[in-house]
Structure 1
Amino acid sequence: MLLFTDTALLMLLALLLDSLVGDPPWLWRHVPHPVVLFGKVIEIADQDFNTPDTSESRRKLYGAIFLIALIACALLIGALLEVIFRGLPLGEIGIIVVGAIFIAQRSLYDHVAAVRDGLSQGGLEGGRKAVAMIVGRDPEQLDEAGVARAAIESCAENHADGVVAPVFWFLLLGLPGLLAYKAVNTADSMIGHKTDRHRAFGWASARFDDLVNLPAARLSGLLLALSAPLFGKRIGESLQIMRRDAPKHRSPNAGWPEAAMAAVLGLALAGPRAYAGYRVDDPYMNTDGRRDATAGDIARSLKALVFACIVQAGVVALVAVATLFV
């Protein structure tokens, strides 16, 4: 899709639109969000094909077949939308709007900021209530430092799969790539868990999500590491910590942005965590960092997030300019 010289420009405008508007709640009260529609399809498949009386091997097979069908449908819908928009006068505006809908810069900032405000204004209970909206772990087992670390880790990880990855796949494959990525990512978030119910049926979704997020996770880590001077840290040292600690994470991707964020903020992130139904005993990212994170550290993570988003937009702008000469 980079052969279309306006693809990067359209994404740059989508990034700008998302940063200004985000996800207006009044709109989604009247029109279902596309991700919600993906979720409905995944929920139906989960109910119909992931039944307790089905063998684990068959559920694994059903999950893989469903994922292939889901990706094919998303690619087809994205291709049809792109053809329709490019055939209309000023149809590029439609591409910009769809791009903005699937990018989570503003909504990520707002949700993480809500944890900062909940913790600073409402104490532990306020922080737990806000963080429960963005993480899957059990908030009742978190103290104030745990709430802050959870919010910061979510900020880092979601920068990779909610901001960098959609931009990457749009630049590579246009709207088909963007929609297919979001379908895979939604499936992973809903059924890609290591619980008894989803270990088999969600296996393909979890593994494929790992694959499509490989480049974005590393790019996200790099962008976050570049913010190190804002916090009195060195970029080279932050990159070194990221490369050293990221492979220790249970996820092949989450460790890269989390380790980078830990390094620039001087915190120890990840580590043992309790989720709904299971517990993980991960090592810490930047193990020498502080573990007593605060609402102030959440504010600093948001500063790193904004910096990373600005740098990414700058890179997209450079690509847009460069493609004018191709």
Structure 2
Amino acid sequence: MRIRLFMPGSLGTACIASVTDMAVGYPQALVRRIGHPVMWIGGLIGTLDRRLNTKDATPARRRAHGCLAAMVIVSVPTAAAVLVNRTIRRILPRWLALPLTAVLASSLVAQRSLHDHVKAVAVASQDSLPAARRAVSHIVGRDPELLDEAAVLRAATETLAENFSDGIVAPLLWMAAGGLPGAVFYKSVNTADSMIGHRTPRHEAFGYVAAKLDDLVNLPASRLSALWIILAALTMRGMGARAALRIVLRDARQHRSPNAGWPEAAMAGALGIRLSGPRSYDGVSVAEPWVGDGRSDLRPEDLYRALALYRRACLIQTLAGCLAAGMLTRKLRTVHRTP
């Protein structure tokens, strides 16, 4: 029997999307011309927030409206992705439909853009503290003017670790499970949490469901991201894989987030530094526990080391996915050839 299967659909989509994003990312020319899928989802969220999250509503009504908004935010983009996916598969041969779908899905992965934004902080920190503060303000929510150089570098390292989980591992994991629609589903949930899932007077009740849903869908990826970081540390000179595992087991669950603590703990342990700790949001000081045992006075070279660890973790994840896709393809070919 002739086998036309190129790769198991969803897993193959994730592998090609990961490689595509590594190689070219999402071109800025496209952002300027048509925007980005996350921007489109954000537009929907903003509209629902303005129309359903009214000031005169009671907390109970706000939570109910937030639940309705979460359902719309998830269902509309996911349904659109299902339609696009089915249309591509219907009009194109499989050998062309799979890579085209994967290229579209690569827009939902942020390997290259995350690296570039964090590297910009590392470069700026070698110039001046004001430049570093401006660079880090693009990727964190805390008050940059209150950060010294070490705090700026810690904030960038924490963002790198956390977004490795929810910006790379999670969308690829959901893509491997459900193809383009799976990735869009995840990105819709994650974008909703980033926009309305905050404990502020406006969003405490309205964003409750979005925040809880984000915690749930990120749970497997956060654990997997810690594993990729530990494996990356194991393959790199000067990195502490054993320390990364120890800090994950000790500190990950003590973090303010049920998920972000896992990759942050792994990175802190691997680099021999401390992350998290006290910080300020909108002028309000928050006493958070430290993650890790090392020094907290980071230097620019520490952030460059974190970027190197991040690149290796991304590579390991991509190789693992491609290996799994190849093994599954071989198994399916054997099954198809069996009389």
TM-score by length of 2: 0.92
2:335 aligned residue: none
2:13 aligned residue: 10
C-alpha change, 1:204 and 1:263, in structure 2 (3 Å) is same
2:122–2:153 contact (8 Å) kept in structure 1: yes
Matched, 1:243 2:249: yes
1:58 aligned residue: 61
Q: Distance in 2 between matches of 1:177 and 1:10?
A: 11
Q: Distance in 1 between matches of 2:211 and 2:237?
A: 34
Name the SS for the 1:91 alignment partner. Answer: helix
Larger radius of gyration: 2
The percentage of counterpart residues that share the same residue type is: 44
Listed one character per residue, the Cα deviations across residues 31-53 of structure 1 (whole Å, up to 9, x for unaligned) are 12111011111111111111221
Gaps of 5+ in 2: 1-6, 333-339
2:89 aligned residue: 86
1:183 counterpart (188, 201, 206): 188
Shift of 1:235: 2.1
Q: Which amino acid aligns with 2:129?
A: L
2:13–2:176 contact (8 Å) kept in structure 1: no
Shift of 1:211: 0.4
Q: Which amino acid aligns with 2:24?
A: V
Shift of 1:278: 4.1
Q: Distance in 2 between matches of 1:103 and 1:232?
A: 29
Q: Which amino acid aligns with 1:88?
A: I
C-alpha change, 1:5 and 1:93, in structure 2 (3 Å) is closer
Shift of 1:9: 2.4
Listed one character per residue, the Cα deviations across residues 61-115 of structure 1 (whole Å, up to 9, x for unaligned) are 1101110122111221121111111123222232111221000000000000000
2:77 aligned residue: 74
Name the SS for the 2:34 alignment partner. Answer: coil
Q: Distance in 2 between matches of 1:267 and 1:73?
A: 42
1:282-321 matched pairs, under 5 angstroms: 282-286=288-292, 288-321=293-326
Q: Which amino acid aligns with 1:104?
A: A
1:191–1:205 contact (8 Å) kept in structure 2: yes
2:111 aligned residue: 105
Q: Distance in 2 between matches of 1:252 and 1:268?
A: 18
Q: Which amino acid aligns with 1:56?
A: P
Matched, 1:172 2:177: yes
Q: Distance in 2 between matches of 1:100 and 1:242?
A: 29
Q: Distance in 1 between matches of 2:225 and 2:193?
A: 19
1:217 aligned residue: 222
1:153 aligned residue: 158
Q: Which moved more, 1:146-155 or 1:228-237?
A: 228-237
1:227–1:264 contact (8 Å) kept in structure 2: no
Q: Distance in 1 between matches of 2:201 and 2:207?
A: 10
Q: Distance in 1 between matches of 2:122 and 2:237?
A: 18
Gaps of 5+ in 1: none
1:132–1:139 contact (8 Å) kept in structure 2: yes
1:195–1:277 contact (8 Å) kept in structure 2: no
